[in-house]
Amino acid sequence: MLILDSIAEALATQGWSVVKSFVPPDLLRELGDEALALLRTGTLRQAGIGTGQRARVDPEVRGDRTLWLDPSTATRAQRDCLDALEALQHTLNRELQLGLFDFEGHFAAYPTGSFYRRHRDQQVGASARVLSCVLYLNHAWRAEDGGQLRLYLEPSGAEIYRDVLPEGGTLVCFLSERFWHEVLPATRLRLSLTGWFRQRAVV
Ligand code: OGA
Ligand code: MN
């Protein structure tokens, strides 16, 4: 499939990729409706930072609310989306030998004004998360709405970045270990399905 090959190509050359229309419009709308319903019923929970004993909630670092997807109870729309990501996983393993082995993902909602400060998705010393993927679920997002994903292109974290608008259907992928990034505040609710392909942990 062309779109999967173009993601593989971009990851091979630059370590990150942005494509539009990763899933069909109907599926996108269903996923957006589900995320919104989960937010409204209070099923999405304030996301934390850190792990183990140092895990805590701090809206000054991270203001999104999330719910992990469970493949065994996934709705049809969630299943279709996980299938599309699995097809991507196979292409990347075939073309780039990334050894991606499973996927952990969640719905995320950033209420108006919330953000996620600059970070990387891999904890120091942990090697399981290889590729970060974000599929945006918003309709008709405009630049004035804010909420960009700011992806720092230099591993050093230097101020060279690419801003990605969280427009529905856009899929961003980047190597989890390499890229610093942040979510800028938005003037409206910002929805996504975000996840990580992992390698088998080395023990
Ligand atoms: C994350 C993250 C980016 C985005 O959840 O770790 O960086 O654009 N999300 O939502
Ligand atoms: Mn992140």
Residues 64-89 pLDDT 10s: 999 999 999 999 999 999 999 999 99
- Confidence band for 202, pLDDT divided at 50, 70 and 90: low
The pLDDT value given to residue 156: 86
Pocket test for ligand 1, best of 22, 61, 116, 129 (most atoms within 8 A of CB): 116
Task: Find out whether the beta carbon of 148 lies less than 6 Å from any atom of ligand 1.
Answer: no
Task: Find out whether the beta carbon of 192 lies less than 6 Å from any atom of ligand 1.
Answer: yes
Give the integer Cα–Cα distance in Å for 103 and 129: 9
Task: Find out whether the beta carbon of 194 lies less than 6 Å from any atom of ligand 1.
Answer: yes
Atom of ligand 1 at shortest range from CA of 110: 10
pLDDT surpassing 80 at residue 187:
yes
Give the integer Cα–Cα distance in Å for 22 and 112: 25
Give the integer Cα–Cα distance in Å for 189 and 131: 25
pTM: 0.95
| Centroid of ligand 2 to alpha carbon of 201 (angstroms) | 20
pLDDT surpassing 80 at residue 203:
no
pLDDT surpassing 90 at residue 2:
yes
Residue with CA nearest ligand 1 atom 5: 194
| Centroid of ligand 1 to alpha carbon of 182 (angstroms) | 7
Which residues pair with residue 49 across a beta bridge?
A: 56
pLDDT surpassing 90 at residue 27:
yes
Task: Find out whether the beta carbon of 121 lies less than 6 Å from any atom of ligand 1.
Answer: yes
Q: Output 35 or 123, whichever has higher pLDDT.
A: 35
Residue with CA nearest ligand 1 atom 8: 149
Mean pLDDT computed over 149-169:
95
Listed ranges 14-23, 119-128, 194-203; the one with the highest mean pLDDT: 14-23
The pLDDT value given to residue 33: 98
pLDDT surpassing 80 at residue 51:
no
Q: Output 123 or 63, whichever has higher pLDDT.
A: 63
| Centroid of ligand 1 to alpha carbon of 134 (angstroms) | 7
- Confidence band for 190, pLDDT divided at 50, 70 and 90: very high
Atom of ligand 1 at shortest range from CA of 194: 5
pLDDT surpassing 80 at residue 94:
yes
